Amino acid sequence: MDSAASTPLQLDMSFFGPFEVGLTLSSLLLGIATLQAWNYYLNFPTDRMAVKWMVAVVYVADVLQTAFFAHTVYWFTIIGPQRLLASNDYGALTTMPWTLEMSAALLALINFIVQAYFCHQVKCISQSTLLASGCFFLAIMRVALTAAILGPLSHNSTLLVIETHTFKAEIISELAVGTTADVLIAGCMCIGLHRRRTGFAHSDRLVDRLVSMALGSGLTTTVVSVIQVVSYAVSPTSFIWIACFSLTSKLFTNSLLASLNRRERASTSVDRGDIEMSYPSGSSSTHVSGTKVTDCYESC
């Protein structure tokens, strides 16, 4: 990685406002994730242990990520200024704590696990191994790019690094790949669900709800990623992108838990067996055999 610029980074305490805003919003989203995790374990006690462990790992990693980011905010807003006043060394404001690197590493872990789960859902819904493999390849690329960023960063722990050309190229590439993966996964799920429309109003309404949920989850993470990459490319020292960084893991965690918990809502509309549908005229009813729509979101 390029060596950091020799000229001091022009900072004042107002630049760390996005850190505090990001911590506040991410704490709120963590509270929502906590409620969702509670509902999941309460409503789906018969899920496979692999799924339960996945939820536990993602949730615990998200809690730790929040704690590490909270320490990062404390470092820049309390410890840094104290050292500056004591030594009159502005380098104290740009020294990067190890907890920021750990926060980024946990974010990468959460992103990968959640995207891998949705890649599995793409395979179940679209019945296409090729599409699922393409999505999974992008998820692996995102982890690899994150590792490429964190490796040299551990040897150059200063905020000056954010203005180097190598770091800019790496982080923009990582965000671009992650955004592409989010869009591709959401698109594949929506198309696969749309193809499961039966022509019966009852099941089609259920499919439409699932499509809107899948689209909403993918759109939220995509919008935040786009804001993050644009704000970083335009003004890296504004640290607006850091606020987006703090929210990303919470959005992925909540999208995973929402995907698992939405099965309870779907099951109220569709029986565990065949789907009972009424003809548009309402004169008679029938049972539609085959794979039921809610199977797309069953743990397997």
**Per-residue model confidence as pLDDT tens digits over 112-129:** 999 999 888 888 777 888
Q: Tell me, yes or no, whether 103 lies in a domain.
A: yes
Assigned domain for 282 exists:
no
- Tell me the residue range of the domain where 253 lies: 13-270
Q: Which stretches within 75-200 are classed as H helix?
A: 80-87, 91-94, 98-126, 129-153, 165-194
Q: What is the mean pLDDT of residues 164-170?
A: 83
Structural domain count of the chain: 1
Distance of CA 179 to the CA centre of its chain: 10
**Does the residue 215 lie in any domain?**
yes
Q: Is 135's pLDDT higher than 80?
A: yes
Residue 278: DSSP 8-state? E
- What six digits make up the tokens of 79? 């410890």
One-letter identity of residue 254: N
Residue 30 lies in a domain: yes
Q: Is 290 among the domain residues?
A: no
pLDDT digits (tens, 9 = 90+) for 6-65: 444 555 556 778 889 999 999 999 999 999 999 999 999 999 999 999 999 999 999 999
pLDDT at residue 257 in the model? 92
| Most trustworthy range by pLDDT among 40-49, 192-201, 288-297 | 40-49
pLDDT for res 13 = 57
The residue with tokens 């906590």 is: 34
* Predicted local distance difference test score (pLDDT) of residue 234: 85
pLDDT of 281? 39
> Percent of the chain beyond pLDDT 90?
26
Q: In this predicted structure, which of 66-75, 165-174, 265-274 has the lowest mean pLDDT?
A: 265-274
Residue 195 CB: number of other CB atoms within 10 A? 11
Structure confidence by residue, pLDDT tens digits, 244-253: 889 999 999 9
pLDDT in the model for residue 41: 95
What does the angle CA 72 – CA 54 – CA 126 come to, to the nearest 5 degrees? 115
pLDDT band at 271 (very low <50, low <70, confident <90, very high): very low
Do 123 and 60 form a contact (C-beta atoms < 8 A)? Answer: no
Residue 279 lies inside a defined structural domain of this protein = no
Residue 54 lies in a domain: yes
Return mean pLDDT, the chain: 77
pLDDT band at 171 (very low <50, low <70, confident <90, very high): confident
Euclidean distance between CA atoms 21 and 184, whole angstroms: 30
10 Å Cβ neighbour count for 120? 15
User: Distances from the Cα of 211 to the Cαs of 29, 81, 189, 219, in angstroms?
Assistant: 23, 49, 7, 12
Backbone angles phi, psi at 179, to 5 degrees: -65, -40
Kindly state the helix (H) or strand (E) to which residue 32 belongs, with its residue range: helix 17-43
Token pair 């990459």 is at which residue?
Answer: 229
Q: Which whole-number Å values give the CA distances from 50 to 31, 61, 108, 256, in the listed order?
A: 24, 16, 20, 14
The CATH number for 154's domain is 1.20.1070
Q: Which of 5-14, 43-52, 71-80, 279-288 has the lowest mean pLDDT?
A: 279-288
Q: Which residue has the tokens 């470092």?
A: 75
pLDDT bin (cut points 50, 70, 90) of residue 291 is: very low
3-state SS class at 272: coil
Output the six-digit token pair for 35: 């409620």
- Please give the pLDDT value at position 22: 92
pLDDT at position 25: 94
Tell me, yes or no, whether 28 lies in a domain: yes
In this prediction the pTM is 0.80
pLDDT at 56: 96
